[in-house]
Amino acid sequence: MDVGVRTHARLGERAKLTTWLLKFGLGGVQRLIGASRKTRDLASGSKLVAALALEALRSAEELGCDVLLPTSRLAGSHDHSMKYPSLSHQMVVRASGSQADVEKVGSEIEVGVRSKLAELAKWEAWHGKRGSTIGWPRAEAVYCRSQLERALPLYWVAIPEEGNYSDDYARVQELFACRKITRDFPQIEQLPEDRPGFSCGQCGERPAIAQPTEKQKKALDRAVTIFTGRDRLCPVCLFKRLFSSGLQFPSTHELALRRLYRSDWGQETIAALDKLKKDPDAPDRTAKGLLELSQEEVMTIFPEGKARDLLLDENRPVAGPYWAVVRWDGDSMGKWFSGTLFRPDVALRDGQKTLGDALGRFARGVSATARSHDATLVYAGGDDGLALCPLDSALEFSRRVGGLWSREMAGVKEMSSNSAGRSSPSLSLQITVAHLKMPLQVLLERSSVALGELKEDLDRRGGFGIEALIRAGGPASMSGGWDELRRVTSAVESCSNWRRDDYHGAGDGRPREDTLKQRQTTALPRRLLRTLETRSRAYFSGPQDGPGLEREAMLRDMKLSLGRSGTNNEQAGLVILDWLEERCTLTPAAYWAPGIAVPLQVVRFLARELSWN
């Protein structure tokens, strides 16, 4: 008997109950997805969770349950991925029958999900040919399967309905929270003493069962496979890697160097380097791997030869080494779904249906926006999501996600009680820009922490944050309301020859040379931003609670600096000045240094990395 049902067993003894609220969920989801050294691990973890969540929904429907959350878009559809666009790893259903009946429902949903996991795993099949290519020692399929099941614990609770849906929903939520912190699973099993004693190099949580030999490492590093010579994987991380086979997912290098790979020069050079692979003296790297080398690395590795000439070609396009992780999450969504922020006259079930439908439309819209803006969507689970973007598209993709959220939540606004000034659900979005050599797992953790801090900074009222993890310096971050993101993008454009709509879905997006030259003549020099940054830091030098120089004086000084910049475009200077004036208005004088100088540093960095030359 489940903990949740046992708590209310005495009610089942008193009468034969007819309807129950049952909540089912998968645990350890974020940890499973986040433990990724490659982007394909990230994709396969998300795909695995989605497959199991869909199986839980399918099982619940087959057992005659009424799925309340997530809300359904296409009633009667057999395609559950289309039916539930705002897919979550938790669901709330209504079941009918006695206590024994609802226990059977919960148990059969759990069995269905575990059976689906076993079907996807097929450890016995993977133990053979594939296992031998990655140095897989003898490891029993039972051990591997148990490790995978413990990485994704399943929870469910059920309560009898008492006639008030709001109260019933609050009770099942509380009970589910208690169930998740109730430890009833065994410790992680250790491999026998005669097995190699090393931990997984990816998650660090479980013993590794796969580690290539030195001979296999060289073969793997030379070949284009889903494994590398550095892999040392536990059953869970090995399953994620094997599960990713066939997935088309860009690497961090492909995201950062998209301009280079997709340019005509890049395509021709890759073809020429591939021909060199037939030469026995050819470099021991893939063609794309050679393009990733810096100029200094090329000169060091190749003192002479055809590969050196190709890689040091003077016509090689400029491609910065930075890319972006975009992560977003709805603010206070638990309060919205519990009805706390709805008007008293709004029935909770009606409010949940309206909000759930809006989240479904938002999730579908995000998927379409990602495709049109060259962003790679890892998941969009309704109010939260994660995408990987080339730096070219990160700002505009993020702005459109914010606009899409605002449009879809307009219907919810009519139901709001406007409690604490929240007229509709808000969205917080974090853009984390990092160098392609930064470990993916570290970057994902950094972006998650940054999003949490952003929510606190904005008092959960929605907005965006940008953190630039500059390799040759310290990190620089800024935040603001959604309206400011457009101003920030315009400020970046005014200091570079890049434009937000350069990429149109094909090629590298590079404009014609005459267009670039015309843009360059009207762009503000980036050194001017450094001057403004330095001046803004100097404007306050008193105690933290004292006034700095007058806002008008600082703006007047900045305007004079812009006037002396020598640019032919006064409009570019006005763009910067208008943006700074708005930030000065919203930022207390005591915080002008972090509130004005650091955002200028972020804009200067983005303008430098996004420029086409």
Distance (Å, whole) CA 40 – CA 36: 8
Q: In what order do the strands lie in the sheet with 384-390?
A: 376-380, 384-390, 322-330, 427-435, 463-468, 476-480
**Can you tell me whether residue 506 is helix, strand or coil?**
coil
Average pLDDT score over residue span 194-220:
72
Distance (Å, whole) CA 429 – CA 467: 11
Range name among 279-293, 388-402, 568-582 with the lowest pLDDT average: 279-293
* Amino acid 284: pLDDT: 62
Range name among 106-115, 171-180, 496-505, 596-605 with the lowest pLDDT average: 496-505
Q: Is the pLDDT of residue 172 over 70?
A: yes
* Amino acid 492: pLDDT: 94
Q: What is the mean pLDDT of the chain?
A: 81
Name which of 506, 537, 509, 510 is nearest 599 in CA terms: 537
Range name among 184-188, 242-246, 367-371 with the lowest pLDDT average: 184-188
Written as six digits, the tokens of 103 are 């226990």
pLDDT digits (tens, 9 = 90+) for 16-71: 558 999 999 999 898 899 989 889 999 999 999 999 999 999 999 999 999 999 98
User: Rounded to 5 degrees, what angle do the CA atoms 489, 385, 405 make?
Assistant: 60
Written as six digits, the tokens of 383 are 């109010």
Q: Is the pLDDT of residue 1 over 50?
A: no
136 CA to centre of own chain: 31
User: Between 598-610 and 526-538, two packed helices, what is the crossing angle to 10 degrees?
Assistant: 170
Distance (Å, whole) CA 446 – CA 443: 5
User: Rounded to 5 degrees, what angle do the CA atoms 168, 173, 174 make?
Assistant: 100
Q: Is the pLDDT of residue 83 over 60?
A: no
* Amino acid 417: pLDDT: 82
Q: Are 263 and 297 in contact (CB under 8 A)?
A: no
* Amino acid 458: pLDDT: 83
* Amino acid 16: pLDDT: 53
Average pLDDT score over residue span 207-220:
68
> pLDDT-derived band of residue 73, with 50, 70 and 90 as boundaries?
low
CA distances from 427 to 72, 322, 337, 402, 451 (A): 22, 25, 15, 7, 11
pLDDT digits (tens, 9 = 90+) for 236-261: 888 888 888 777 889 898 899 888 88
DSSP label at 591? G
* Amino acid 173: pLDDT: 95
> pLDDT-derived band of residue 6, with 50, 70 and 90 as boundaries?
very low
Q: Which amino acid is at 303?
A: P
* Amino acid 545: pLDDT: 39
Length of the chain: 613
Average pLDDT score over residue span 102-123:
90
Average pLDDT score over residue span 451-459:
90
* Amino acid 400: pLDDT: 96
Range name among 295-304, 349-358, 452-461, 465-474 with the lowest pLDDT average: 295-304
> pLDDT-derived band of residue 413, with 50, 70 and 90 as boundaries?
confident
Q: Are 235 and 206 in contact (CB under 8 A)?
A: yes
**What are the CB-based long-range contacts (under 8 Å, 24+) for 341-348?**
341/416, 341/417, 341/419, 341/422, 342/415, 342/416, 342/417, 343/415, 343/416, 343/417, 344/417, 346/415, 347/165, 348/165, 348/166, 348/169
Enter the pTM of the model: 0.88
> pLDDT-derived band of residue 160, with 50, 70 and 90 as boundaries?
very high
Stretch (H or E) spanning 287: helix 287-291
pLDDT digits (tens, 9 = 90+) for 519-564: 887 777 787 778 777 777 666 544 443 344 455 666 666 667 666 6
- Name beta bridge partners: 379: 386
Dihedral angle sign, alpha carbons of residues 354, 356, 362, 367:
negative
Burial class (CB in 10 A: 0-12, 13-18, 19+), 166: middle
> pLDDT-derived band of residue 121, with 50, 70 and 90 as boundaries?
confident
